[in-house]
Structure 1
Amino acid sequence: MKTKICHISTAHPTFDTRIYHKECRTIAKNGDDIYLLIANDKDEISDDVKIVHLPKKNGRFYRFFKKRKIAFKKAVEIDADIYHFHDPELIPVGIKLKRLGKKVIYDVHEDVPKQILTKEWLKSDIIRNLVSNIFNKYEKKASNNFDKIVCVSEDIAKNFDMNKTVIIRNFPVISDIDSIKAIDIEKKVPIVIYVGGLTKIRGIKEVIDAMELLNGEVKLWLLGKWENKSYEEECMKSKGWKYVEYFGLIPQKEAYSYMKKADIGIVNFWPVDNHVSALPNKPFEYMACELPMIMSDFKYWNCVFKDCFLGIDPKNPEDISRKIQKLLVDKKLMKQLGENGRNFVLEKYSWESEGKILLNAYKELKNN
């Protein structure tokens, strides 16, 4: 008998890499009945995933109140065996579903208490620390209500009851990446690529500033959504912007075609608490595309991505430009880093192995 599973998100895009492309499609391929309750224009079925639409309207107030109520109502109508939600703002929805006797999983993508410390809309360090501490206590207490906690890393898992916790990391779907060909675009110079959120704490402007120092020896391809208009304008005022090509937010599989055409992948995250122990998607995807990488020189990343990247000071455009230059000059090193990354992904960093952990978690809940 099929298990009916419902994933819920009020904060992520419809075809989110982790939620849709990895988790939901894995469930569908396993033959279970999978629903995805998420912001979309309409109800539709994609890759055997039944997408049930929520309003696309955003904004913190709307999401926290109106959208959350709509999500709970539709979740109850689906009447799933297992509910799997992805946003901390949905904790109250998860608790209500538990009271209805449902099995509930909380999927923790980020260390939210640490993430709160980087939020500029909270106007002072005192307020950020206060909100972070309050949420930390609330999240830990609330998590006791749920049947399982899914975490993207060991570091995040430490915040929760280890008897309930399952670690499912953001490794790439190798079969998806290998099925994509490089995009047919003429390039006259080597390409450095960044795919992901274009935010201040991800060091986008510093990378653009580094392009000026390289004086046209390379171009930077940016694929993703800007944090806000003011940061986009700030980056466009950099003298390095003339060496940037911005492609916007594009579908995941199409993004792989750009990665395969590029020469170097870059991840220039600032050393804030939520970054130094994070495992973002992009390095693994770069590695699957056999790209040598330039990344922030974090201790944890030096352990995980050893021999696959050159470390940089993320706030220093001069250092970023030097490391790019080093790879451009040393073709042997460039090739070796790319090959190391590809081999590591094939041996132990693929979603194919993580997906089995997810299915086992569902099986365990169903049997209990």
Structure 2
Amino acid sequence: MNEKKRVVHLTTVHHPHDPRIYHKECKSLKKAGFDVYLIAKETEAGVDKESGIKHIPIKDYTSRWERMTKGAWTLYKQAKKLDADVYHFHDPELLPVAWLLKNNRNHVIYDIHEDYITSMLQKEYLPKPVRKFAAKIYKKMEQFFTKKMELILAEKYYKDIYPDGDCVLNYPMVNTAFLKHQREGEAEDKLIYTGNVTDVRGAYLHAKLPLIDEKITMNYIGKCSIEFAEEIYRIAKDQANRIYITGVNQYIPKEKIEQAYLNHNWLAGVAIFPETEHYMKKELTKFFEYMNAGIPIICSNFPVWKNFIDTYQCGITVDPHNEQEIKDALEYLRNHPDEAKQMGENGKKAVQEQLNWGKEEEKLINIYQHLLHK
């Protein structure tokens, strides 16, 4: 590019150090020669100044309503002042803001991280008619606001919902520390789960693992509310002393999660989720992270997940409600260390050669360059 084009990433929901937004997209765009700003909630750590990405902090509201009103309005005013060539936003609640920012001189990109419509339909705390009505209204609203926007999709199956969107998948960056790290000898009787700790992400099923296998410890590393942590300990009953949660009421940065992968010779990375329409169709980001670190996976046997695990030979799938199957999978990895090590190596190789951010980074830069040369 002859002149630096200004790019502004916008979020009121995600942490300023969000792996996809900051570590992947913002840093890749900065490296490609763009002038990159990030408007995101304030944090004590701030954003790494050496990256050259300019972080404009906005107040972090604990109330969702305040965040969607006061927070969104503050973000809009800051973004408007920057007069960017490209606005790239990451939260559905910012659809009206992004619509206001769009003009004939710029481009607006909606980065779709989740299948929000399906997510609304499975909120069981709401009556079914309310869920259906909310999903229908959201779909109409999304169609209206995004008419003149570009869509970027973080997951393959979103293409079924948004056929005009471009996939920039949330694959991991190849970590050089993982390249050097070799899984030697028998694994420890430790299981790891990384990411936000919620019921639809298997938190309650994972809490039962120390009851299923009397040898293992279950380690959660990710943001978890204090109320949720207490429920996890309650489910584990007299084995609660073999549950460890890092991230109670706090965000765990990417660097700390990556270090956790290296701290132990983990028996497996787990993703034993209950059946939900959204997750059954989705290739989890944590799959790629476990594979990147050379850790075998134990996950639910949903058809999409089973096909993925079978393709890359990187783990074992189980019926999430069959305790004997889960126990057998744990025993297999424990009693077959060579096979377990090979699963880890298979996963690591797949990430190094195919499933990595380097390939997706090229797609992202090409999308930007195409837009700016229109």
- Partner of residue 23 from structure 2, selected from 18, 21, 24: 21
Q: Distance in 2 between matches of 1:247 and 1:156?
A: 31
> Which residues of structure 1 form unaligned runs of 5+?
none
CA contact (8 A) 1:171 1:350 kept: yes
Aligned residues: 358
Alignment equivalent of 1:127, drawn from 127, 130, 139: 130
User: 2:363 aligned with 1:365, yes or no?
Assistant: no
- Over the aligned positions, Cα root-mean-square deviation in angstroms equals 2.1
Separation in structure 2 between the aligned mates of residue 46 and residue 52 of structure 1, nearest angstrom: 15
Partner of 2:12: 10
Aligned partner (choices 212, 217, 220) of residue 218 of structure 2? 220
Equivalent residue in structure 1 for 2:153, among 151, 154, 168: 151
**Post-superposition offset of 1:137:** 2.7
Task: Give the deviation of 1:59 after TM superposition.
Answer: 2.2
Superposed, 1:198-277 pairs within 5 Å as: 198-215=197-214, 217-226=215-224, 228-237=225-234, 238-239=236-237, 240-248=239-247, 249-260=251-262, 261=264, 262-277=266-281
CA offset at residue 224 of structure 1? 0.8
Q: Is the 8 A contact 1:288 1:341 kept in 2?
A: yes
Which residue, 281, 290, 296 being the options, matches 2:294? 290
How far, CA to CA, are the matches of 1:97 and 1:341 in structure 2? 42
- 1:52 matched to 2:60? The reply is no
1:209–1:317 CA contact under 8 A, matched in 2: no
Counting aligned pairs with the same residue, the percent is 28
- Where does structure 2 lack aligned partners over 5 or more consecutive residues? none
Residues 58-116 of structure 1: CA deviation (Å, up to 9, x unaligned): 32201211111111100011221100000000111111111464210000000100011
Q: Residue in 1 aligned with 2:343?
A: 337
Shift of 1:233: 1.4
Contact 1:267–1:295 under 8 Å retained in 2 = yes
Cα shift at 1:175:
3.7
| Distance across 1 between alignment mates of 2:324 and 2:228 | 21
Give the superposition deviation at 1:144.
Answer: 1.6
TM-score by length of 2: 0.90
- Which segment drifts farther, 172-181 or 251-260? 172-181
Compute the TM-score of the two structures, normalised by the length of structure 1: 0.91
Give, in angstroms, the shift of residue 207 of structure 1: 1.4
Instruction: Spell out, residue by residue over 1:177-228, the C-alpha distance to the aligned partner (whole angstroms, 9 max, x if none).
Output: 548979xxxx99422100111101111121121212211x2212110111x4
2:117–2:138: 8 Å Cα contact kept in structure 1?
Answer: yes
Question: How far apart in 2 are the matches of 1:305 and 1:346?
Answer: 16
Partner of 2:166: 166
1:38-117 matches, within 5 Å, as 38-41=40-43, 45-99=49-103, 101-117=105-121
